[in-house]
Amino acid sequence: MTMVQITLPDGSSKAFAQPVSVAEVAASIGPGLAKATLAGAVDGRLVDASHRIEQDASLRIITARDEEGLDLIRHSTAHLMAQAVKRLFPETQVTIGPVIENGFYYDFARKEPFRPEDLESIEREMARIVDEDLPVSRQVMDRDEAVAFFQGQGEEYKARIIADIPAEETISLYRQGDFIDLCRGPHIPSTGKLGAFKLTKLAGAYWRGDARNEMLQRIYGTAWPDKKQLKAFLKRLEEAEKRDHRRLGKQLDLFRFQDDAPGAVFWLPRGWTLFRQLIEYMRERQDEAGYVEVNTPDVMDRSLWETSGHWQNYHEHMFTTQTEDERVFALKPMNCPGSVSVYKHGLKSYRDLPIRMAEFGKVHRYEPSGALHGLMRVRHFTQDDAHIYCTEEQMEEECRKVIELNLSVYRDFGFEDVRLKFADRPDNRIGDDATWDKLEGALKGAIDAMGLEYTHNPGEGAFYGPKIEFVLRDAIGRDWQCGTLQVDLNLPERFDATYRTADGGEARPVMLHRALFGSLERFAGILIEHYSGNLPLWLAPVQVVVMNITDAQADWVGEVVSDLRRRGFRVEADLRNEKIGYKIRGRTLEKIPYLLIVGDREVEQRQVAVRLRDGTDIGAMDLDALGERLSGEVARRGPIGDNGQR
């Protein structure tokens, strides 16, 4: 009998006299590993722990410590939830249950709506199934047999899913007790390996995400390797709810939404002040970095979008209109074509390059109503867009400068933990492979030259070029994808953009697409949540409030407000006929950084009593000393604490 040689990740190998399962290999290494084994990666392919290896192969044992192991736990918990739902509500049809960030969901077809209290019943039934420790096994079915099986079970959605699976793919089913589900797998060996889970919310979802299809009911949940990690996540979730920018936006009177303009922001005065701070900050940084600023139309003819390729690749996300002469126009979903049009105005020489052209462009993208989420997902937003036109020899250096600027900007806003993700050519793309080779090489070269770490997202680039995504980690450990850098030779080709070379010929410029905030609306939302509304002094819409104790101090309050405004600070007076404690509590809830209290003593000494929003009492200060303190704190930018220290 042929021996089977198994090579392990540390380079060691084990020989077996006959085909061996992943679980058996784990058991041969040790009982602890055997108990922890969830699945295996055989020659890089994920398989069940019961999978038998029949020839020499490399093997990596998958446990809950592995990223793949966590995904397996979550996907298997989705099946666990579906089984519990079927036990409690047998008339329900199951559809799909994928893994998502931090958890999973499953969509169900049921006439009666689930109620919040149903989630508790489902969780209890899930716990019973875990206690039953049901083995999970895989079986393969003929396509027609599988369709007939699910139709016989009354699971019409599963039958429809099978009909859409490519003919060459295997139809695999997973059984745990009396529950059988269609699934590619792999899965954990038994339900007993689950248990640290929580069902979190209910939502509606269209079948296959299409609003023309029937509405299903979606149950979301989270799952973790152990109770400790689950508890930590739920605590983060609770903290995130406290920081929800929609709640804080209402509390701090920053912005609102209304049905007259779904997916668009109505900025209130304080919120618009924050928005302007972002623009002014970025304008200053871009001026320092050698950018020029332009502005292009919001509505442009369809032909421009056909030239750029957006019409062919992005049409379903564009808002369009047709005029009486039958011309079709589109609200711009991106700023790139307008930027190229500006570049083409007038002849360009190699001496002019690089040209760094910035635009705070308003863009419009159709997002399904169910996807809209406060400032984080809107249909109308502003990008801090820039396009850099350079020679091929300059592009790697320009990429490096963009990366350096991005990281510096994020530090100013208090984001020190920034992850880079490199995304290469997608299947749906324009341009030839040689061009993509050149662009990907330059972009990766810039990251490598800076010694920065990055992860690889294969096939996730834009349709016109590879990209880097900048992912920020906030105060409670959540990741936010914000800035992007994309390298492009395709749009200059499509728009016939050129520059005059040193020898008098013509060449195509390389076009770098760059955004740092990404969407200013979204970045504002991220900042609000990151700081839990306690924005640093330099960003706070109202930096100082001056309050009197009685009407006798009103004139001095007016002088203080005027003096601080002349120094450039955003100041309000609170002269309401209310007790000072009431005023302080109210302004603290508004998260105003500095609260200045004026009584008879302060008037007499021409000072103010200084209090911070965290309750710290700084004491009495004259206006010059206070102005110096405020100016120093504003100049430092970054995440300054309420006591004025980093």
pLDDT one-digit tens code per residue, 425-468 = 888 887 788 888 888 888 888 999 899 999 998 888 887 788 99
Per-residue model confidence as pLDDT tens digits over 581-613 = 999 999 999 999 999 999 999 999 999 999 999
Domain 67-242 has what CATH class? alpha beta
**Residue 9: exposure state from Cβ atoms within 10 A (0-12, 13-18, ≥19):** exposed
The question of whether 553 is a catalytic residue gets the answer no
Give me the catalytic one of 176, 243, 336, 364: 336
Q: Is 617 left (phi over 0), alpha (psi -120 to 50) or beta?
A: beta
Residue 205 confidence (pLDDT) above 60: yes
CB count in 10 Å sphere of residue 506: 10
Q: Where are the alpha helices (DSSP H) in 184-316?
A: 227-243, 245-251, 269-288, 302-308, 310-314
- Please indicate whether residue 385 is annotated as part of the active site: yes
Q: Where are the domains of the chain?
A: 4-62, 67-242, 263-296+333-530, 544-636
Residue of 217, 383, 553, 607 with catalytic role: 383
Q: Are 417 and 472 in contact (CB under 8 A)?
A: yes
* Euclidean distance between CA atoms 283 and 92, whole angstroms: 56
Q: At residue 169, does pLDDT exceed 70?
A: yes
59-74 per-position pLDDT tens digit: 999 999 999 999 999 9
Q: Which residues contact residue 124 at a Cβ distance below 8 angstroms, ignoring those fewer than 6 apart?
A: none
Tokens of 357: 């052209």
Q: What is the pLDDT of residue 514?
A: 94
* Per-residue exposure over 39-57, b if at least 16 CB sit within 10 Å of its own CB, e if not: bbbbeeebbbbbbebeeeb
Q: Do 239 and 475 form a contact (C-beta atoms < 8 A)?
A: no
Q: What are phi and psi of 236, to 5 degrees?
A: -65, -40
What is the Cα–Cα distance from 369 to 300, expressed in whole angstroms? 25
State which fold the 263-296+333-530 domain adopts. BirA Bifunctional Protein; domain 2 (3.30.930)
Q: Report percent pLDDT > 70 for the chain.
A: 98
Which candidate in 387, 429, 514, 587 is catalytic? 387
Residue 276 and residue 540 in contact, taking contact as beta carbons nearer than 8 Å: no
- Sheet with 594-598, strands from edge to edge, namely 571-574, 544-548, 594-598, 608-612, 617-621
Kindly report, residue by residue over 117-165, the tens digit of the pLDDT: 999 999 999 999 999 999 999 999 998 899 999 999 999 999 999 988 8
* 345-381 tens-digit pLDDT: 999 999 999 999 999 999 999 988 878 899 999 999 9
Residue 496: pLDDT over 70: yes
- Active-site annotation holds for 245: no
DSSP per-residue codes, 25-78: HHHHH-HHHHHH--EEEETTEEEETTPEE-S-EEEEEE-TTSHHHHHHHHHHHH
Give the model confidence (pLDDT) of 397-423 as tens digits: 999 999 999 999 999 999 999 999 999
d(CA 410, CA 421): 16
- Cα(486)–Cα(387) distance, integer angstroms: 9
Residue among 71, 107, 181, 385 flagged as catalytic: 385
| Axis-axis angle for helices 156-164, 143-152 (nearest 10) | 160
* Residue-by-residue DSSP string for 519-562: EHHHHHHHHHHHTTT---TTT-SS-EEEEESSGGGHHHHHHHHH
The band of 10, judged by pLDDT with boundaries at 50, 70 and 90, is very high
367 CB-contact burial (10 Å; exposed 0-12 / middle 13-18 / buried 19+): middle
Q: Kindly state the tokens that stand for 209.
A: 């995400």
Which residues in 316-355 are b (16+ Cβ under 10 Å) and which e?
Answer: eebeeeeeeeeeebbbbbbbbbbbbbbbeeeebebeebbb
Instruction: Give the pair of three-digit tokens for residue 583.
Output: 């005023």
Confidence of residue 14 (pLDDT cuts 50, 70, 90): very high
E strand spans, 312-448: 320-322, 328-331, 355-364, 380-390, 418-423
Position 638 pLDDT exceeds 80: no
> What does the CA dihedral 236, 242, 245, 249 come to, rounded to 10 degrees?
-170
Report the candidate in 520, 63, 440 with the shortest Cα–Cα distance to residue 265: 520
- Fold for the domain defined by 544-636: Rossmann fold (3.40.50)
Residue 423 to residue 463: CA distance in whole angstroms: 11
* CATH architecture for residues 4-62: Roll (3.10)
pLDDT bucket at 324, cuts 50 / 70 / 90: confident
Q: How far apart (Å, rounded) are the C-alpha atoms in residues 585 and 596?
A: 13
Average pLDDT, stretch 561-575? 97
Nearest of 83, 12, 5, 71 to residue 38 by alpha carbon: 71
Active site residue 467: yes
pLDDT of residue 253: 96
202 vs 197, 218, 409, 451, 533, CA distance in Å?
16, 6, 38, 44, 28
Q: How far apart are CA 69 and CA 303, in angstroms?
A: 49
End-to-end CA distance of the chain: 70
Nearest by Cα to 595 from 621, 563, 632: 621
d(CA 143, CA 411) in angstroms, rounded, equals: 55
Q: What residues contact residue 139 under an 8 Å CB cut-off, 6+ apart?
A: 172, 173, 174, 175
Distance of CA 619 to the CA centre of its chain: 42
4-62 and 263-296+333-530: identical CATH topology = no
**How many angstroms separate the CA atoms of 489 and 464, rounded?**
8
Written as one letter, the residue type at 299 is: V
Q: Is there a catalytic annotation at residue 336?
A: yes
pLDDT of residue 639: 47
* Whole-structure pTM value: 0.82
Cβ-based burial of 496 (10 A; exposed 0-12, middle 13-18, buried ≥19)? exposed
User: With contact defined as beta carbons under 8 Å apart, do 337 and 495 qualify?
Assistant: yes
- How much is the pLDDT for 1? 55
What is the rounded CA–CA span in Å between residue 436 and residue 510? 12
pLDDT digits (tens, 9 = 90+) for 248-257: 999 999 999 9
Query: One of 513, 522, 583, 591 is an active-site residue; which one?
Result: 513
| Mean of per-residue pLDDT scores for the chain | 93
| Catalytic choice (467, 494, 530, 591) | 467
Percentage of the chain lying above the pLDDT 90 cut: 84
